[in-house]
Amino acid sequence: MTAPKEKPVTALDLETYRRRAEEFVGALDLEYYEHFSGRKPTCDTAAVYDRYPELFTKAAIDELEGIYQAAKDEEKRRLAYLLAFTVDGFMGEQTKHLGDEVANTEGAATITVDGESIGLRQAGVAQANEADGARRGRIQEARLAATGELLNPLLDRVWRRCHELALELGYPHYRELYSEVKGLDYGLLRAEMEGFLRATEGLYSRVMDRLSRERMGVPYSELAYADLPYLWRAPGFDDVFTRAGLVPTLRATLAGLQIDLDAQSNVHVDTEVRKLKSPRAFCAPVRVPGEIYLVVLPQGGQEDYAALLHEAGHTEHFAHVDAGLPFEYRHLGDNAVTEGFAFTFDHLVLNREWLARYLDFTDVDEYLRFANVNDLYFMRRYAAKLCYETELHLQTGSLDGMAALYSEFLSAATMIEVPEANYLVDVDDSFYCASYLRAWMLEGSFRMILQDRYGADWFVNPAAGDWLKGMWADGQHFPAERLLLKHGGGRLDAEPLKHHFETALGR
């Protein structure tokens, strides 16, 4: 596949490029919204890319690189974000048909377990809700088989092509390309995360074993990977985290921060039940701040509450962005920032005062131990994903050996045998796992600031709402590190999180 031959972008038509880029982002997010909300059975991002052929060519990247090198100060920052967007788009354009094939194959695929047909996307939900451990194992086995047969061959082609494209752009490998265009040293972040893994290893081992014995009746060493979705689903808390209360709880939480969800004409809450709708909540910022979709399929359970709050954090961030900001600061920038706001909201399920006020849940010690162990597990898991991806994205040819390496890194961090088959489905584009990890650290600092300034019940303090809205208005103008410094939070690192886990779970 070769990039279309188009007239190169020049400094004189840079604003046209920005306008067209914003149109593209909106069209792409709308395509994702329609497919994953179940309104559209197939995903056709290729058609979106085809409407904007001039945006994602090597010539466009080269021209923008030249403009960037000559720019100064604020314009240079805008162009850095625009250049990163163009590289992402170049990768997406070159793999658009494969990307659609992956999404549509996954959406159409089914597995058969004990004579029952289950959609592959819904199989994780079925596994999490299955009380019979043997059947959980059969669901897991069928999911892994389908992944290996249907998805991995496609994803292998996607990633080998992306690695080839990094070489075509003049970089030794994909990791170096993204380190430069994102302005991040992934090796340094990996070292930070390896330190976090070492520092929390003993604590994690103890609390996971205790949790496994309490909730599953066996030591953690005897738990299977197939059991983890059921462990984290925690159906014993469903009488608190009810399906009927999900959206009303969100509405009440936002009201405490002086946000009237129903009065936000730019926010569209999609709660309609559709057969093909993604079971997990998501946010689609089609036009920022003018058209934001918050999509949820209410099911209940503590995971559903955390997921909806997470996506509501994204939604309110984008909905409050200053409409006068340049395109780059409204739609692009450092995604650790919007993920940090999302984590700030979803971590309300770890807040004793929030649980009491909005869920009338006061006998919470057992639940809070569970929820904090869950958070520690996932942060360690993502730390391992970064370690793995920094190795995966050094590859310039065959991906042989990566499946075993994936299992090695993930198994060591989570202390359970992680199957090799997920070695590609568990990888997001453009090192997005780094955005999640930096967002975890950002949220850890935000949590301390909010509680120190506004109290443990900051979520009902209008001043806390004003503080958040002030940051939201800036979009993603500032990267996470600078945003934290700007608002009095010090250095972005894992120390606040380590302190939190030690305090919440014991040393």
Average pLDDT over residues 475-490: 92
Higher pLDDT pick, 165 / 125 = 165
What pLDDT, on a 0 to 100 scale, did the predictor assign at position 494?
93
Amino acid at 204: Y
> What is the tens place of the pLDDT at every residue in 199-239?
999 999 999 999 999 999 999 999 999 999 999 999 999 99
d(CA 169, CA 166): 5
Average pLDDT over residues 389-394: 98
Sign of the C-alpha dihedral computed for residues 125, 131, 137 and 138 taken in this order: negative
Residues 6+ apart with CB under 8 A from 271: 247, 296, 297, 298
pLDDT of 8 above 90: no
In 3D space, the residue among 303, 304, 301, 283 whose CA is nearest the CA of residue 292 turns out to be: 283
Average pLDDT over residues 377-404: 97
CB 50 within 8 A of CB 306: no
The structural domains of the chain, ordered by start, are 11-183 (no CATH), 189-505 (1.10.1370.30)
Average pLDDT over residues 469-492: 93
In 3D space, the residue among 370, 379, 355 whose CA is nearest the CA of residue 498 turns out to be: 379
Average pLDDT over residues 276-290: 93
| Mean pLDDT computed over every residue of the chain | 94
Question: Is 103 strand, coil or helix?
Answer: helix
> What is the tens place of the pLDDT at every residue in 318-335?
999 999 999 999 999 999
Name the percent of the chain lying above pLDDT 90.
92
Strand 282-287: give its sheet, edge to edge.
Answer: 267-270, 291-295, 282-287
d(CA 345, CA 502): 21
Task: Centre a 10 Å sphere on the Cβ of residue 452 and count the other Cβ atoms it contains.
Answer: 10
pLDDT of 9 above 60: no
pLDDT of 28 above 90: yes
Q: What confidence tier does 1 reach under pLDDT thresholds 50, 70, 90? A: very low
pLDDT of 10 above 70: no
> What is the tens place of the pLDDT at every residue in 135-155?
999 999 999 999 999 999 999
Average pLDDT over residues 18-26: 97
In 3D space, the residue among 330, 304, 308 whose CA is nearest the CA of residue 317 turns out to be: 330
What pLDDT, on a 0 to 100 scale, did the predictor assign at position 488?
81
> What is the tens place of the pLDDT at every residue in 80-136?
999 999 999 999 999 999 999 999 999 999 999 999 999 999 999 899 999 999 999
CA distances from 429 to 2, 153, 322, 411 (A): 20, 17, 28, 22
What pLDDT, on a 0 to 100 scale, did the predictor assign at position 238?
94
What pLDDT, on a 0 to 100 scale, did the predictor assign at position 507?
62
Average pLDDT over residues 485-491: 86
What pLDDT, on a 0 to 100 scale, did the predictor assign at position 350?
96
Q: What confidence tier does 363 reach under pLDDT thresholds 50, 70, 90? A: very high
Angle of CA points 346, 384, 124, to nearest 5°: 55
In 3D space, the residue among 489, 468, 80, 417 whose CA is nearest the CA of residue 228 turns out to be: 417
Residues 6+ apart with CB under 8 A from 170: none
Average pLDDT over residues 287-310: 94
Average pLDDT over residues 242-264: 97
pLDDT of 458 above 70: yes
Average pLDDT over residues 181-210: 96
What pLDDT, on a 0 to 100 scale, did the predictor assign at position 114?
97
Q: What confidence tier does 16 reach under pLDDT thresholds 50, 70, 90? A: very high
Average pLDDT over residues 179-206: 96
